[in-house]
Amino acid sequence: MSEQLKAQLLGCDDLPSHVAIIMDGNGRWAQRMGKRRVVGHKAGVDKVREVVKTASELNLKALTLFAFSSENWQRPADEVSVLMELFLTVLSLEIKRLNRNNVKLSIIGDTTRFSDKLQTKIKNAQDLTKDNTGLVLNIAANYGGRWDVTQACQQLAGLVQQGKLSPEDISEELINQYVCTAQLPELDLLIRSGGDCRISNFLLWQAAYAELYFTETLWPDFDENEFLKAIASFSQVERRFGCTSEQVVATK
Ligand code: IPE
Ligand code: IPE
Ligand code: MG
């Protein structure tokens, strides 16, 4: 089933270039089986591997995964600490494979709050893969959409203060170059697993014209077929960007 759908999608002109995923539902998945929430986080890692592989096979340009939000620090300390440990372990275990597969890894978010050990691992992983030309894999960690816009404003205000930029030169295009996803194609498709229909402070600026896809499936159950279904649904949508349907058809 999924091989057939994948083959179909490979021949399709309307694939998204940049897909983002809010990987939600790990805790509930574990709790439903009477297990601790962290068991769900561990099971979720396998699905990360699976979507990265499929995204590469479909030749998507960028995949941005929400791994830890700026609000997730508020969770119980032991859950936060398991998540940090998991991040460190997964980074160590997966980086060689990602590099072999020509994936360029980038961690987006305020990484200064992480331990020195984790910050070093992140830096090394990014350095190792920086010249790779395949899929750009962004892992959003301690990321918040409002933080992203704020840090872009701070950088631009700094340039104004230094006399290198005048306020009237601040345009949407310029702000785009200072948010964490600068250099990447526009976000086309935003997927959220776990049944909730909200953005939870993810890519606020970038999601302006993204197609939104929500599924009840909990993240540890989100397999390749679910991912392909989301992409297939994207490829069937008419994106009008404010125009009329007739205008869109005429420019095709
Ligand atoms: C998403 O799953 C993973 C992180 C936020 C780190 P959750 O842990 O939010 O799982 P639910 O939503 O409680 O089921
Ligand atoms: C969003 O999930 C963050 C990640 C998936 C990393 P949450 O579970 O934190 O979102 P809310 O709290 O339900 O909005
Ligand atoms: Mg959640």
What digits encode the pLDDT tens for the residues 94-108?
Answer: 999 999 999 999 999
* CA–CA gap between residue 63 and residue 53 (Å, rounded): 11
Residue type, 138: N
Give the number of whichever ligand sits closest to the CA of residue 30: 1
137 CA → ligand 1 middle, Å: 20
b/e per residue, 5-37, with b = 16+ CB within 10 A?
Answer: bbeebeeeeebbebbbbbbbbbbbbbeeeeeeb
Pocket of ligand 1 (CB under 6 A): 23-28, 68, 72, 83, 194
pTM, two decimals, is 0.97
What is the rounded CA–CA span in Å between residue 69 and residue 73? 8
- Active-site annotation holds for 24: yes
Ligand 2 centroid–CA 133 distance in Å is 31
**41 CA distance to ligand 2 middle (Å):** 12
8 A C-beta contact, residue 15 and residue 54:
no
pLDDT at 239: 87
- The superfamily CATH assigns to domain 2-144+186-251 is Decaprenyl diphosphate synthase-like (3.40.1180.10)
Q: What's the gap between Cα 138 and its chain centre? A: 6
* 2-59 pLDDT, tens digit each: 899 999 999 888 999 999 999 999 999 999 999 999 999 999 999 999 999 999 999 9
Determine which one of 13, 46, 72, 138 is catalytic: 72
Atom 11 of ligand 2 has which residue's CA nearest to it? 200
